[in-house]
């Protein structure tokens, strides 16, 4: 080592410099450099098959949605209700007047009943394409059959008193088809196909000639509508008119649920009437109602208000529907025959003069 004062070389271990006598301070040992510490390594990934690591996680089973149309509880995450085909998770379209538009259904929507399926095909003139499983069957009115598999056998359905029912001047014939195989139904009229799931113990009343098909668990019956009026054009020329038809069809579910298919012209709207609430509709616009909903005729006589003239006689004729219950109407309706004629007799009705 060397002296820091004069620079002379000093032997190791000496306390003083031999050249200038200055005390010599031994050099401090160099600090020990600790060995580098290795960075912690992540634990090795557990070996697993690639398919197991990339498989999507299935949603937990359970009720996640309730269909706004048929009130069925839907499990999983389907885009549409498997019972009625209504699109799920969409806000209901209800106008300020209280009428609710029929829920949207996508083209090719698939409905399930039992082990069978019904697919709604088309938009303007929809078709009900039914894939019947073995042991399942549907019944339908004879004039709505569009096509079928050649091996499906069609047989008449036994109906008590069917000769009393007429369609286009001919007796009403109900037929049924049994699976397995495909069969399709349609009406030659633009409009909407209405799937109506019926729960056990429930019923629905439908205006004549709107029925398309029903599953075998749905019981079919009819009753007189009780809505009529009579016109006279001469001394002895009298005619009876039935604004909603002489009969109403009633479809009911017993111990098992079932599916009813209706077809209405134009667009379909529904409304829930509170107890005692009433609504006036064109008679030929009615599609269906709950059995609790009561009906009768209603006449309005608007005042002319011109030169003191009197009222038009029976100018407006309505169907008054009284809640509670749900009613359905169609936007396409036929002109009521005999509405402007001289009405002489009629079923129970209310009246208003303006």
Please, which pLDDT band fits residue 334 given cuts at 50, 70 and 90? Answer: confident
Q: Which domains does the chain have, with CATH numbers?
A: 82-88+97-353 (3.60.160.10)
Q: Among 31-35, 61-65, 248-252, 271-275, whose mean pLDDT is lowest?
A: 31-35
193-227 pLDDT, tens digit per residue, is 999 989 899 999 999 889 999 998 899 988 899 99
State the CB neighbour count (10 A cutoff) for residue 87.
Answer: 17
- pLDDT tens for 337-346 read 877 788 889 9
Higher pLDDT, 112 or 326: 326
Q: Are strands 294-301 and 349-353 parallel, antiparallel or unpaired?
A: parallel
Least confident of 74-83, 249-258, 272-281: 74-83
Please choose, from the candidates 84, 109, 117, 66, the residue with its C-alpha nearest in 3D space to the C-alpha of residue 75.
Answer: 66
Q: How far apart are CA 69 and CA 195, in angstroms?
A: 10
Q: Which pLDDT band holds residue 101 (cuts at 50, 70, 90)?
A: low
Give yes or no for residue 321 having a pLDDT over 90.
yes
Lowest mean pLDDT among 47-61, 187-201, 333-347: 47-61
H or E stretch covering 98: none
What is the overall mean pLDDT for the chain? 78
Element (H, E) at 325: strand 325-330
- pLDDT tens per residue across span 125-136: 999 999 999 989
């Amino acid at each position: 080592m060397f002296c820091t004062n004069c620079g002379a070389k000093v032997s190791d271990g000496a306390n003083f410099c031999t050249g200038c006598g200055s005390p010599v301070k031994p050099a401090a040992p160099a600090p020990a450099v600790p060995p580098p510490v290795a960075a912690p390594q992540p634990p090795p990934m557990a070996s697993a098959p690639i398919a197991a690591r990339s498989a999507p996680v299935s949603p937990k089973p359970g009720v996640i949605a309730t269909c706004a149309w048929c009130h069925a509880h839907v499990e999983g995450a389907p885009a549409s209700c498997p019972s009625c085909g209504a699109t799920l998770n969409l806000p209901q379209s209800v106008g300020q007047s209280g009428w609710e538009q029929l829920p949207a259904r996508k083209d090719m929507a698939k409905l399930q009943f039992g082990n069978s399926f019904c697919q709604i095909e088309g938009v303007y003139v929809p078709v009900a394409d039914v894939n019947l499983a073995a042991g399942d069957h549907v019944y339908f009115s004879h004039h709505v059959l569009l096509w079928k598999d050649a091996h499906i056998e069609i047989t008449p359905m036994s109906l008590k008193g069917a000769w009393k029912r007429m369609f286009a001047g001919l007796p009403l014939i109900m037929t049924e088809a049994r699976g397995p195989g495909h069969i399709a139904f349609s009406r030659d009229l633009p409009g909407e196909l209405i799937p109506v799931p019926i729960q056990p113990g429930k019923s629905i009343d439908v205006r004549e000639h709107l029925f398309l098909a029903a599953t075998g668990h749905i019981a079919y019956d009819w009753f007189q509508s009780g809505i009529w009026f009579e016109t006279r054009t001469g001394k002895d020329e009298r005619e009876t008119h039935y604004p909603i038809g002489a009969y109403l069809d009633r479809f009911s579910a017993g111990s098992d649920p079932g599916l009813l298919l209706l077809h209405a012209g134009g667009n379909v709207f529904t409304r829930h009437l509170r107890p005692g609430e009433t609504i006036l509709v064109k008679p030929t616009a009615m599609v269906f109602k709950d059995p609790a909903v009561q009906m009768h005729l209603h006449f309005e006589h608007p005042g002319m208000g011109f030169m003191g003239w009197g009222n038009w006689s029976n100018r407006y004729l309505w169907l008054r529907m009284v809640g509670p219950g749900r009613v359905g109407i169609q936007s396409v309706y036929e002109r009521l025959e005999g509405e402007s004629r001289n009405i002489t007799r009629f079923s129970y009705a209310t009246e208003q003069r303006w």
